[in-house]
Amino acid sequence: MIPDFVKFEWVHPGLLLILGAWVLPLLKGQVKQVAMVLLPAAALAICIRMSWWEHGSYQIANFLTADLFFRVDKLSLVFSYVFSIMALIGMIYALHVKDDTQHVSALTYAGAALGVTFAGDFLSLYIFWELMAVSSVLLIWLRRKPAAVAAGFRYLLVHVIGGLILLAGIILYAKETGSFAFGKQADVYGVMEPVAGTAAWTLILVGFLLNAAVPPLGAWLPDAYPEATVTGAVFMTAFTTKSAVYVLIRGFAVPDGEPLIMWLGAAMAVYGVVYAVLENDARRLLAYHIISQVGYMVCAVGIGSKLAVNGATSHAFAHILYKGLLFMGAGAVLQVTGLRKLSDMGGLYKTMPITLGLYMIGAFAISAVPLFSGFVTKSMVVDAAHASNSAIFLLLTLASAGTFLHTGLKLPYYMFFGKDSGVKGKEPPTNMLVAMGLAAAACVLIGLFPGLLYRYLPNFVDDSPYFLYTLPHITSTLGMLGFTALGFFLLLKHLDPEPKISLDTDWFYRKGSSAFLRLAKRPLTRLEYGFVGEIYEFIMRRFVLDVARVFRWFDTFVVDLLVVGVGRLTQRFSQILKTTVSGNVQHYGLTMAVGALALFGLAMLALARIGT
């Protein structure tokens, strides 16, 4: 049962954001801005208060004979903290935006992510899962440009397909287990293990991996995120992929490991880095690197050890903050210059020094530079990989070098330094800088005091794996970063961004859809008119016309005659009644009396028959 105090004083933090979002359009001016900040702040306060609860699953409703559960444990709480924090930072970043639809969509999106985090059953998880897809696609469409509209439709199509796959898996899971529960026990992971290898296990895994943007299912992310609104993209970096990481940990992180998930994550980390290095679009580059960084988390889920699960959780926490900061920096440049291509930028450090400084904090964090958040989170995943599989360890180390190459060196060099393009920039609105400052402070705070984050991680492990500020670890990290920087500047001429498009796995469904349209326009059209049309002409059309002739004859010679006959009878009866109209009241009274006597006689006759 839900604790007694919850019944009177508690509201679901996700529902608070979803329902509260619809109040914003009714508010104006500074009152609206205050509400935009207070809603995610209140959700964060509720999540923090829930840390005082006894961990467990609480039944909150019964829907179609299925129990709906609300789960509170260390894993759900730590994800709820960072989701609420990012919603708060994102709303501060968007305070200057006048479009209410963007605010409603963003808060609904954040609330749905919190709903997924606390869902203890597959039914409520699926509802919030689909709500994330619907609300997030609006953040793409609301940019109101043809490219954004097209990307939004592709994004929605992919997620609808993924949702149907997930739903099929949920139905099979309920059939096999007799329950929709997504693991009733708190602080337990790998809850899908009892049905491992079944169709339900496979379909649910595919549905989760698609939202995590695991190749070849992840081309939707770099296709859609760069086309979102400036503020909407910040929210999109936080919720879809990281909620997928959460459910992967909950469902598939087992102590013995899942080699398939582990190798997919490692390949994902390298894949994202390679495409990011080739990219010319600043926000698309950062989008590809989301794939790479989520690859570390997916790989950790596949490893499955306690250290790996902690690494996936902590790295998701840190990634939401520093990736949001990086997208805010790129969004600030887009906001004031209207430019996205690195080949069109350069020299902006002169007019946007604060933006540059805040962006570099995010770049150092994502590159795992000591004293920044990525150093104390990514290292746990890499150490877990080192203890599990040396090949995986090498792939993740290679991806780490690539991260610093493109996000820490290439993007800031060509965006803020490089050849002066003559673009006149300026610092973005104050609220955007404040939001970037908050995210940057969090990146530094976690890097300097990792215990602030470690205490909330799902598994307790001996302190030694967490103590990362050792001389060998620091020197090896700085050595790798230093050689990466040296290689960048030595090969600088060969790394100049070019206005080209890199082909990704979305090429297959783009070309496939084009081929289908050609098939529909040519062979299928000919089949329609040359074969199906002839069948209709000589079979269906003749049959329909013959039936129509029968009904026309029936209408003419039966229905019409009956109607005409009734009309004539009515006319004659009215003429008879007309003769009885004399205008004399005595005649009318006598007629009524005769009618009453006739009715009385009929009634008496009926009673006599009943008596006999």
**Cα separation values, 503 from 275, 344, 500, Å:** 9, 21, 10
Confidence (pTM): 0.82
Name the domain count of the chain: 4
Tens digits of residue pLDDT in 75-131 = 999 999 999 999 999 999 999 999 999 999 999 999 999 999 998 889 999 999 999
Would you say residue 246 lies in a domain? no
Would you say residue 519 lies in a domain? no
Tens digits of residue pLDDT in 283-323 = 999 999 999 999 999 999 999 999 999 999 999 999 999 99
- Residue finishing a domain among 234, 266, 300: 234
Q: Please enumerate in sequence order all residues whose Cβ is within 8 A of that of 91, keeping only pairs 6 or more positions apart, or say none.
A: 36, 37, 39, 40, 103, 106, 107
Q: Are residues 70 and 216 in the same domain?
A: yes
Q: Are residues 77 and 158 in the same domain?
A: yes
Would you say residue 510 lies in a domain? no
Q: Are residues 542 and 499 in the same domain?
A: no
Distance CA 515, CA 567 (A): 64
Would you say residue 448 lies in a domain? yes
6 has pLDDT over 70: no
What φ, ψ does residue 381 adopt, rounded to 5°? -65, -45
Would you say residue 33 lies in a domain? yes
Would you say residue 522 lies in a domain? no
Q: Are residues 9 and 33 in the same domain?
A: yes
What is Dmax (Cα atoms) for the chain? Answer: 125
Q: Are residues 575 and 587 in the same domain?
A: no
342 has pLDDT over 80: yes
Q: Hey, what are 517's tokens?
A: 């349209």
Residue 50 is part of which domain span?
1-234
Distance CA 86, CA 443 (A): 12
**Cα separation values, 334 from 124, 194, 341, 603, Å:** 37, 49, 10, 93
Scanning the structure block, which residue is given the tokens 């968007």? 94
Q: Are residues 411 and 544 in the same domain?
A: no
Q: Hey, what are 328's tokens?
A: 């805010």
Distance CA 425, CA 484 (A): 30
Beta bridge partners of 356: none
Scanning the structure block, which residue is given the tokens 């919190």? 114
Q: Are residues 198 and 297 in the same domain?
A: no
Contact (CB, 8 A) for 322 and 443: yes
Q: Are residues 437 and 325 in the same domain?
A: yes
Q: Are residues 168 and 301 in the same domain?
A: no
Scanning the structure block, which residue is given the tokens 């049905």? 195
pLDDT of residue 581: 62
Tens digits of residue pLDDT in 565-594 = 777 887 777 777 666 666 666 666 777 777
Distance CA 35, CA 471 (A): 47
455 half-sphere exposure, CB direction, 13 A CA radius:
5
Percent of the chain with pLDDT strictly greater than 70? 85
Q: Are residues 472 and 347 in the same domain?
A: yes
Q: Please enumerate in sequence order all residues whose Cβ is within 8 A of that of 194, keeping only pairs 6 or more positions apart, or say none.
A: 177
Q: Are residues 202 and 276 in the same domain?
A: no
> Taking the alpha carbons of 147, 152, 158, 161 in that order, is the dihedral positive or negative?
negative
Would you say residue 532 lies in a domain? no
Name the CA dihedral angle for 223, 224, 230, 232, rounded to a multiple of 10 degrees. Answer: -160
Q: Are residues 229 and 325 in the same domain?
A: no
Would you say residue 424 lies in a domain? yes
**Cα separation values, 327 from 160, 202, 331, 444, Å:** 26, 33, 6, 17
